[in-house]
Structures are given as structure tokens and as C-alpha cells.
Amino acid sequence: MSDLHRTPLYDLHLELGAKMVPFAGYEMPVQYPLGVMNEHLHCRAQAGLFDVSHMGQVILRGANAGAALEGLIPQNVLGLKEGRQRYGFFTNDQGGILDDLMFANRGDHLFLVVNAANKEADLAHLRAHIDGVEEITDRALLALQGPAAEAALKAIAPALPDMVFMDVATVASDFGELWVSRSGYTGEDGFEISVAADQSVAFAKALLAQEAVEAIGLGARDSLRLEAGLCLHGNDIDPTTTPVEAALVWGIQKTRRTGGERAGGFPGADIILDQIANGASRTRVGLRPEGRAPMRAHTMIFASEDATDPIGEVTSGAFGPTLEAPMSMAYVDRDLAATGTTLFGEVRGKRMPVQVVDLPFVPNTFKR
């Protein structure tokens, strides 16, 4: 694994007994001695600390940055208030999703967090269209998630202000300046914290020293985000899926839709706005298989036990430790996407019944 990148917390992961795996060009912890199942449950019960330093941290400066970013994503950037963050996605000319991201208005600049696997492509895409794109390479990124997250962060960063879901703040601390957002990707209340790389180990250790906080690996990160109904780029969304197919229309603000103040003007706008008006032929849904067997990615979905042609495919599937049952996300024909519809997934040559259900599988606990 010598050609892989390491995050500033690499040695700490080893010290904690992590099992390291290659992920998006990095050596990352997939699990710690606690194990995937218990890490997952611990995060929902108390607080979990995740190293997400492999993700890209990007700053856009300049008076025109907001308008320029609106040329690449179908979100309302100019209307985002200072101190607030929003979910977004880069689209291509076919209306597909190049990557999803978080962007925040931090006063004199926009702060973006993009996926590790797409970081280089995103940077090239941004630089081709926007001046003053700055990649942050001297800061680690950690996520602290779960009901005990606020108390744990406040204990070591007492200047933490009152924040609600999707607020961002700059917080002075013993570990230097923290760039904090009240967000995450587990469905739990919590924070993502950008901290100077040379302070990040001390910061992580101060969190882990608290009874409520355990280190959580990529394994549990995946089951947590899936229970929360959240998409993983490369699995559930990709350049061939549109935001309408992906059931992410909630993430396109009215200002950017037909009739809005700044309607269109992003790649693939014609296709996406047409699909918002008329629907798409397939849509992302949640599926609950009967029994305990997980239905994993690429399981084909059929309308009946004996139908010849598939009407859909699973994009993510796992056993949900909190749900205590298997769960999958899939794209299915829109006529068969109604909640309560019974479909069949083919596992090891057998057609197993599944129910279309509403997402998320486990209700979120965001602090609104």
C-alpha cells in the first residue's frame, strides 16, 4: 500500500488498532477493535469520531465566486447566508452527478468539502471555470457524530457557539482555529471539524479521551449513512444518474428551478428541469428485504418471481445494526416505485421478496 496517501491521523489509527484498507487512494481505517457492528451502535448511542481527512477541502475566494459556482451546481449559492452550509452536486451536460459536496458561506470565502475519490477531478473542474480556487492541504477533517457529540466537542472547545443543523462557525481553541459545521453523514446530530494538520492528533486524542467518544471506521460509516438514506457517490449517484432519478430534487432550491429568479444556468439544466416537471423513468427508493439476508449492490430487481427482465438494480445494501434488518437502496422503474410495492431481488439465483419503503430507514436526529 506504499503508493497510497496517508492522513495526518494515520499513526493514531495504527495506535488504536485499526484495520487499514485502501480507499479512494488513501490508507484508511475500515474498523477498530470494537468492530463494525458495535462502532455503528456506539455512534447512535453516544458519539463516534471519524477521520474524513481524505476528503477535499477547497476555498473559493473573490467577489464572483458564488455566481461562478452557480454555473456548476443547481443550488442557490448567492442566497446562502453567512454562517450557513448547504448540500449540493456538480452536474454534467447530461444532467448526471459528477460529485456531491457541501458548501458553506464563511464570510469572505466559500468553503467546499468534496469526496476523496473525485477530489482531483473536482479541482480541475472548478479551476476551469472559477478563478481563485485554493485546495487546503494543511488541515485535517474530522466528523464527530452522535447524541453526545455536542458535549464532547464543547468540553475541549468551550468557545463553541450555539449552532443548529448546517450552521458553520470559526471557533478558537487550544488546538488552533477550528472550522466547525453542525452536519455530518450519519443521520445523527454532530459536527464536522476542520483542524490544522499539526494539531489534529492532539485534537482527536482529546476527544477520544472522553468516555462517550469512540473511533469509528469506514465500515460503520457506510452502514450509518445507508440507514440515514444518504447517497454514496460512485454507488448510489454517479455521472449517469440525474438528481431527479436520485430523488434529490429537495436539494435544488426554487431560485434555480423553472420560474425561479436564476433558473437554469448549470450543466444539464434542460434535462434536469424537464425531469422536475415531467418525472424521470426511474427513481431511487429504499427497499426492505424480508428475512435477514442483505441484498447488496448490483442485485437485480424484478417485478415478480418469474419476470424475465429486471426493472431495477440495488446500488447499496447492507445489514442495518440499528434497524436490526437488511436494507438496500435501488433504482427502479417509476411505475413500481410506490411505497409498499412488493418487488423481488435475485440473490444467489433465488427471487427474494422486498418492500419499497420510505427513506431514511432510521429517522435522523439533526438539531434543527
Partner 1 sequence: MKFTEEHEWLKVEGDILVVGITEHASTQLGDVVFVELPDVGREVEKGEEIVVIESVKAASDILAPLDGEIVEVNEAIADNPALVNEDPLGAGWFFKMKVADLSVIDGFMDADAYNDFTG
Binding residues for substrate: 192
Q: How far is CA 31 from the centre of its chain?
A: 19
Q: Which of 102, 318, 327, 332 binds partner 1 (CB under 8 A)?
A: 318
| Residue 368 within binding range of partner 1, rule CB under 8 A | no
Binding to partner 1 by residue 31, rule CB under 8 A? yes
CB of 253 vs partner 1, minimal distance in Å = 37
Q: What is the DSSP string of 170-233?
A: EE--TTS-EEEES--SSSSSEEEEEEEHHHHHHHHHHHHTSTTEEE--HHHHHHHHHHTT---B
Among 95, 146, 219, 267, interactor with partner 1 by CB under 8 A: 219
Q: How far apart are alpha carbons 75 and 97 in whole angstroms? A: 13
Q: Does 35 bind partner 1 (CB under 8 A)?
A: yes
CA pair distance 68, 14, nearest whole angstrom: 42
- Does position 323 interact with partner 1 (CB under 8 A)? The reply is no
By CB under 8 A, residue 287 contacts partner 1: no
Judged by CB under 8 A, how many residues of this single chain contact partner 1?
A: 17
Cis amide linkage into residue 74, ω under 30° from 0: no
319 belongs to the binding site for partner 1 (CB under 8 A): yes
Inter-CA distances, 327 with 128, 220, 297, Å: 40, 14, 11
Q: Per CB under 8 A, which region of 49-57, 91-99, 242-250, 317-325 contacts partner 1?
A: 317-325
Q: Applying CB under 8 A, does 296 fall inside the site for partner 1?
A: yes
Dist. CA 136–CA 178, nearest whole Å: 14
Residue 282 three-state SS: strand
Phi/psi region, residue 3 (left: phi>0; alpha: psi -120 to 50; beta: rest), is: alpha
User: Which residue, 37 or 155, is less far from partner 1 as judged by CB?
Assistant: 37
Q: Which of the ranges 9-17, 150-158, 287-295, 356-364 carries the binding residues for partner 1, by CB under 8 A?
A: 287-295
In the complex with partner 1, which residue's Cβ is closer, 31 or 115? 31
- Cell numbers that stand for 169 in this block: 462557525
Task: Answer yes or no whether residue 315 interacts with partner 1 by CB under 8 A.
Answer: no
Which parts of this chain interact with partner 1 (CB under 8 A)?
A: 31, 35-38, 219, 223, 291-294, 296, 318-319, 321, 326, 348
